[in-house]
Structures are given as C-alpha cells and as structure tokens.
Amino acid sequence: MAAMFTCCFGCCGEGGSGHIPLKEMPTVQLDTHHMGTDVVIVKSGRRICGTGGCLANAPLHQNKSYFEFKIQSSGIWGIGVATQKVNLNQVPLGRDTNSLVLRHDGSVYHNDEEKNRLPANSLPQEGDIVGITYDHVEMNLYLNGKNMHCPASGIRGTVYPVVYVDDSAILDCQFSDFYHTAPQGFEKILFEQQIF
C-alpha cells in the first residue's frame, strides 16, 4: 500500500507539475494544401481571393454542420461542399460529382445540373452573409440568417466546405463565432477527435 502511494506521489508530486499538457485543437480554416494554383489565402486562412477554389482543412464528419461566408467583394464565386477529388483550378465548381455549390447567380449546381435556385429577389450581394447547413444528405442555404428554403443534394462521400472565386471576388469564411446563430440542431465544424 505504501509503495502505491509512493509511486503516485513520486510521479506527480516531486518530479513535475502533475499536469499533462493537452494538445491544442486545430482551427478550422481554408487549407493551403488543397487549393487552386492561382488562389490566394490570407487573414489566417479565412479570406480567399485570386482565381480558383479551396477546401477547408476539416471534413464534415458530424451529423449536422453549419458554416458561413461573407461576400467582401462581388465577382464570380461559389460556396458549398466538395470531396477532395474536386478540380480546384476549374471554375465554376458544380460541373461534376465532386462538388455541390451555390453560385454567385443564385443557382445551385451538382454534376453539371442545376439542383435548385435562390429566389430572384434574394441573390447574395456584397456585404451579405451566406450560411450553409449540411447533414450528409442535404445542403441548405441561409441569407443573412434567413432560411432560403433552397435544399440541394446528390453529393456522396467525405465532403469538406469549399469556396471558389474569380473576377475580383473576395470571400471570408466563418467556421466559428458566426455572424448569425446556427439553425437548431446544427453546429460549427468539429475535427474528428472533438466528436468522440
């Protein structure tokens, strides 16, 4: 019995602080290892400009994910979800089975097919916040916190948030500390080790 206390106190009491350092959780941001060749990522992985697309560094493993994009400067852009097989040098995305995106003109494309469209009076403008929910079946869109009732589906496999820009567009990504409250049941993207 005394030996057990000696071991416990010897390990923690005299030799060290008794605290085990925790590994810092990574931040969800745009992934400079998965971006088009003419893309520029700034603001600590939160802003995209240039020409091409970029994936976030965390897949959407949890059941219900939410993330936002702010349109800082108009141009050609698209946001949504994609697999790692997507061609990030080819804009617009949505031309193949590897991406499901809302385009700047309000259309939602997957596999070169228009899956849905925002109402004509609800096209995102400079300064607007576009929110995206994804539940492994359906992607839904929110404009400045309002549900656009514009669901789209069809993509399969492990997906990541994706954004592309062209023609002087600049978008900021918000993967936490949202401008608008996430819809009920949806939450920020979690890394796999945060889920378990």
Match domain 30-174 to its CATH number in 3.40.50.300, 2.60.120.920, 3.90.70.10, 1.10.287.1260. Answer: 2.60.120.920
Which pLDDT belongs to residue 192?
74
Distance (Å, whole) CA 171 – CA 179:
14
pLDDT, averaged across the chain: 90
Give 176's pLDDT tier (boundaries 50, 70, 90).
Answer: very high
For 77-101, what is the mean pLDDT? 98
Higher-scoring residue by pLDDT: 6, 99: 99
Residue 107, pLDDT above cutoff 50:
yes
Interval 15-39: pLDDT, tens = 455 555 556 778 999 999 999 999 9
Distance (Å, whole) CA 93 – CA 8:
58
For 151-179, what is the mean pLDDT? 97
For 85-97, what is the mean pLDDT? 98
Which pLDDT belongs to residue 175?
97
For 66-94, what is the mean pLDDT? 98
Cα–Cα nearest to 65, from 55, 80, 51: 80
Residue 92, Cβ neighbours under 10 Å: how many?
18
Which pLDDT belongs to residue 193?
60
Which pLDDT belongs to residue 171?
98
For 63-83, what is the mean pLDDT? 98
Domain boundary assignment for the chain = 30-174
